[in-house]
Amino acid sequence: MTSLRLFGIIILVKNLTQNPCPCESGNPYSSCCQPYHQGLAAPTSLALMRSRYTAFVFGLEDYLLKTWHPDTRPSFLNLADDPATQWLGLQIKRVENTSEESGIVEFVARYKIAGKATRLHELSEFIYTDNRWYYLTGSNPNVQL
Ligand SMILES: [Zn+2]
């Protein structure tokens, strides 16, 4: 990533801090997902899920990798190679704590690829370890349940 490009992203994120958070919580980014992107541990699996969606919107690869459980984490994401994806919104369908250390969040994320609107319906599994929530894996709820 060139320094010019990084600079542009910082300006973009600064301008967006007072805007509604992309995760559609209804709160501004600065009091929603931003603190987690800046290092605060997300207190719940839902907060982590929302902050990871917003990280996809902003292309925050480091955050996505950092919050991915080491057992399932890819070595890289290369979001920059996929500039055609435009994230449109997030709808939380179901949140369930399956134990003290695990939870699931079912959601629908809407996005556009090359002008074509698409829906991602996923059941994400999260795990709590070392005082932090981590994304473990995702599956299609229509197949799993
Ligand atoms: Zn948010």
Structure confidence by residue, pLDDT tens digits, 25-38:
999 999 999 999 99
Question: Would you list the domain boundaries of the chain?
Answer: 3-144
CA 137 to centroid of ligand 1, rounded, Å:
20
The model's pLDDT over 65-114, given as tens digits with 9 standing for 90+, comes to: 999 999 999 998 888 777 678 899 999 999 998 898 999 999 999 999 88
CA 127 to centroid of ligand 1, rounded, Å:
20
DSSP β-ladder status, 132-139 and 116-129: antiparallel
Residue type, 44: T
Protein fold of 3-144? Nuclear Transport Factor 2; Chain: A, (3.10.450)
CA 61 to centroid of ligand 1, rounded, Å:
16
- Rounded to an integer, what distance in angstroms lies between the CA atom of residue 7 and that of residue 1? 10
- Out of 1-10, 55-64, 122-131, pick the least confident: 1-10
Residue 59, SS3 per DSSP: coil
Which pTM does this prediction carry? 0.84
CA 29 to centroid of ligand 1, rounded, Å:
6
CA 11 to centroid of ligand 1, rounded, Å:
18
